[in-house]
Each structure stands twice: as structure tokens, then as C-alpha cells.
Amino acid sequence: MNVNGASSRVLPKGLAPRDFENALQKFAVAIGDEWVISSENELKNYRDPFAFASADPREFAPSAAVKPASVEEVRSIVRIANELKVPLWVISRGKNLGYGGAAPRVAGSVTIDLGRMNRILEVNEELCYAVVEPGVTFFDLYEHIQGRKLKLWISVPALGWGSVVGNALDRGVGYTPYGEHSENICGMEVVLPDGGLIRTGMGALSHGKTWHSFKPGYGPSVDGLFMQSNFGIVTKAGIWLMPQPDFFVACDLHFERESDLERIVDITGELRREDIVQNTAVLSNAVRLISRLGARDAWFAGGGAAPESAVQAKLQEMGLGAWNLRFAIYGAEELAEARLKIAKRAYGAVAGARFESKKWDVRAHGAEEFTAAIGSESVQAGVPSLFALEVLKYRGEDGGHIGFSPILAPSGKEAVKLANLAGRLCREHGFDYYGGFSFGFRHLWSVMMILYDKKSDEHRAQADRLFRRLVKEAGELGFAEYRAHVEYMDLVGDPYDFNGHALRRFTETLKDAVDPGGILAPGKQGIWPKRMRENGGQTQ
């Protein structure tokens, strides 16, 4: 990493300061001076707000940011970067908190901030899709749909300020039946690392009409190649939306014993496959729900992991179970009632389970009334909010977190193995186990946040140790992550090792072919371009 003269600006390794200044000038000519950000103060917004393992704030810092307003401007930036060998990083809104925020994988990269490209290009109410630019947030799309009284629901992650496109590209998760966001992308426009421009699927037809309704197109499907990848910059995408259901039933279940976990996962996995549970059901342990109240100091003022007795006392006070499940049912009243009946019968097999449900006639209630009534559960109705931010204060007003997110089979036995391991390791490193599972059709996302005090060096160091042990020891049980913080992208990719990491070699072959200059997001998801690979990582 280079630090430029008097300022602490980080330059890309191997790039002469003169070439860097030259690149900035060319960017300014291409997109306008005011859209090239290079002041130390403004660049702080492009770092990881939760930086932790390294005390050096420059470790994952960009050298500059550029804010194009159009596809042509993105293409110009890419061409200049190729000419001068400037590494680029891309963000849509840069809210990837827990996975690095806006920070680039390689220090000194120039960050392309697509926030100004924020047009909602189309919302098709009949076919239920939207076409958006990367700068469109969940709030933007929701308000657009509500403002026009369209009978459509979007799917949102727990925080609504992120990008519809950016979140889906990182394979983000929401809580309606359309919650697997990457699966609902249909048709993209992509700027390639050499400045070329493609449209995927049916978008490759100059006069096609089904770009956003038929995903595969003709020949190999390539949308997935641009997710969690460094093969291109997505400049627009189609996203499928859910037809507004007539009825919405929010279900809340509380289970008394820790040992109920195996049964709950087996039952919910089966109900999900049978489409009785239609959305991303979320199973949470006690700490996950308690942490929503904010600062832990309010009920336990000590350091290290909170003792079981304190957690239990808080649980009782809040009327929660050791495990708590939330899911929703959607659609015509007859179908909703039938699904509810089947679900109640299935969970009745778990002794002591409490089942609560609230049914809403969506047609009879305006969005505002409906949203106010369901509060933080609104994500299951695709209503964006920022309720979830409160958890960050759990271990200090200035808190941060890192996500550990391995994928499991939806099997009770597997969930128990992971929960036992995570609980033990968290305790050993002085953290409370904030844990749970989200249910996909054929898998579980294990959701775990390591919540720490950003101001404490000891906390940050322990969080790093804990994360590394989790990857290693969960890996030995066959669990690997689906998503990673920039700092751990190589580490998380290592267990994907079949046939001597043949998959990684394949993606590197693709990388070298589409990005011979190796300029776009080097190292993202462990995929390094040739010029950096040969010298073992971030070198020229």
C-alpha cells in the first residue's frame, strides 16, 4: 500500500503518483470535476464503517471515488482505468454493512459509486416486475409503487436503505416469498471490464419484448456470472415483484426449550418445501431478539459473554422462548386459512409451543395503517424500514458487526451441530451467540452477527479470532459461507476446494479472458486477476 506524501491517501500498489493524478484528471474530463471525490474527508464515506480486525483505517481504503450519471460515463471510467491500470471497485449504495460496507477489497482502488444512477425505468404491474438502475433503494421502489397505488409488493432486507440491485448481486435475502433476491433478477445490462456493453437473456434481442420475463435466454445463462463477481458492472436489472396478496397472515411462534431446535427445523423445512410456509421463515435465538432493544448494559453491565441466568431473566420479562419463529402466509383467504390450519397442526407436535397469528385483509387497509400495525414485522410484507439498526448498539453506542453466514441443509441435526459450535466459540471469545436460521426452499442460511464495540481494540481483535475459528471449525463440519466481508474473501473461498480448487481456476480463467488488464474489483470473492495472482495476492 502506498501513502501519498503529506496526506494519508492510499494509492494502488505499484501505481506511480503521477499516473494516479493523470487518471483523476481524465475521470474529471469524462464525468465532471465535481463527481470525482478525492478529499480525505469525503472518502471516509467509502470505507468500512465497521472496520475491525485491522487498526489501520487505510487497510481497505479507496484512493478516490467517482460518481457517474450514465452508462456511457461508466464505460469511460473503465476505459481510463484500463489505460492507466487503476483498480476499480463498484458500489450501488455501499450499505453492505457486516460485509465491508462500501470498502474495496484492494486498498487504493477507485470506487465507482453508482448512487446517481437511480432511475426506476419501468414498473410493469401486469407482469409484476420492475427495471431499475443500481442507485435505486428499497425505499425508493416502495414509495414509487405506493405513490401509484400499484398492486405489487417488493421484497426487502432488514434495512431498506440499500440498493435493490446491489443487494441482489451480493445474493441478499428478504422475507417475502420473493426473498431470495438473486433468484428474482431477470435480465441485466452490464458494462464489461474492457468497456464493452451487453444485455443478458432476452435482452440480447435488439427488438425483444421479454427481457424481464424469461430468465435463461438462448445458450448459457449468464446472469449469475455477474453476482458476487468481478466480471462486470451491472447498470440496470429487471427484478420480479410479488402480486399484492388479498390476505396476509403474520405468524409468531415461541418454543420453550433450547432442545426444541431439531424438531422446529425439521418441521419448518418440510412446511417450506410443501409451500405451506411460503416466505423466508426466520428462527431466532433469545439473544437475537433481546439485542433489538439496543444496549446490553441496560440488563447486564459486565464484560464478556452474558451469563445464561441474565439472558433467561430477560427472556422471561419479554415473554420470549428459547427459540422464536416468524413466518407469514399470503394469498386468497381460503388458501391462507388452509395453510394456517396445517401449520398449526404441524407445530402442535412440539410440546409447549405457543402459536400466535394475525390476519390482515390487505385490500381493506391502506399501506400506512397496515405498516404501523405490524411494526418491525413489516419486512414480511415488503415494507422497508431501519428498525434493525438498533442491534448495533448492543455492545456499545458505537457498535459494529460482522456477519458469519454459512449454508446448511434444512435438517434439525445439522442446525443443532452448528448452533452448539457457534454458541461455544462465542462464549470462549466473550460474545453472546446472536444466532438463528432463515429458511430457503432447500437450504438454511445460518444468520449470525458478531456484535462488538468498535472503540475497543480488544473487542475487535476477539471478533477477528472468533470469525477465523468459526470459518475453520464450521468448515470441518462441512459448512461454508455464502457471502463474505472483504477482509475474509480469500479465507471464505478456501473450503470450496473440490479437485484442487478447480472452480476457482475456472473463474480465474474467465476473469483473465474478460478483464485482461485485471482492473475490476481484483480479489473480490477470492478471484484475482493474473497480474496479481502470480505474485501471490495484491501485487502488480
Ligand X SMILES: Cc1cc2nc3c(=O)[nH]c(=O)nc-3n(C[C@H](O)[C@H](O)[C@H](O)COP(=O)(O)OP(=O)(O)OC[C@H]3O[C@@H](n4cnc5c(N)ncnc54)[C@H](O)[C@@H]3O)c2cc1C
Residues that bind ligand X (CB under 6 A): 90-98, 114, 134, 157-159, 162-163, 165-167, 169-170, 172-173, 233-234, 388-389, 391
- Could you confirm whether 218 is annotated as catalytic? no
Rg for the chain, CA atoms, rounded: 23
DSSP strand pairing (282-285 vs 36-37): unpaired
Torsion of Cα atoms, 431 then 434 then 436 then 440, to 10°: -100
Task: State which residue, 320 or 451, has the beta carbon closest to ligand X.
Answer: 451
Q: Report, in Å, the least distance between residue 469 CB and ligand X.
A: 22
The active-site residue, picked from 75, 263, 296, 483, is 483
**Distance between CA 137 and CA 113 in Å, rounded?**
14
Task: State which residue, 170 or 223, has the beta carbon closest to ligand X.
Answer: 170
The CB-nearest residue to ligand X is 162
Which of 42, 28, 236 is closest to 135 using CA atoms? Answer: 236
- Degrees to nearest 5, angle at CA 424 with 421 and 430: 135
Is 288 in contact with 436 (CB distance < 8 Å)? Answer: yes
Task: State which residue, 37 or 340, has the beta carbon closest to ligand X.
Answer: 37
> 426: how many CB neighbours lie within 10 A of its CB?
21
CA distances (Å), origin 287, targets 37, 259, 309, 380: 41, 16, 12, 21
Which of 160, 48, 57 is closest to 94 using CA atoms? Answer: 48
Which DSSP state fits 205? Answer: S
Task: State which residue, 221 or 259, has the beta carbon closest to ligand X.
Answer: 221
**Distance between CA 394 and CA 292 in Å, rounded?**
8
Q: Report, in Å, the least distance between residue 164 CB and ligand X.
A: 8
Task: State which residue, 43 or 233, has the beta carbon closest to ligand X.
Answer: 233
Which stretches within 193-260 are classed as H helix?
none
- DSSP collapsed to 3 states, 448-501: EEEEEECCCHHHHHHHHHHHHHHHHHHHHCCCEECCCCHHHHHHHHCCCCHHHH
Is 30 in contact with 83 (CB distance < 8 Å)? Answer: no
The active-site residue, picked from 99, 129, 347, 488, is 99
- Report the phi/psi class of residue 34: left, alpha or beta, with left for phi > 0 and alpha for psi in -120 to 50: alpha
- Could you confirm whether 330 is annotated as catalytic? no
Distance linking the first and last C-alpha atoms of the chain: 11
The active-site residue, picked from 482, 496, 531, 533, is 482
Task: State which residue, 231 or 323, has the beta carbon closest to ligand X.
Answer: 231
Which of 170, 58, 169 is closest to 109 using CA atoms? Answer: 58
Task: State which residue, 170 or 414, has the beta carbon closest to ligand X.
Answer: 170
Active site residues: 99, 482-483
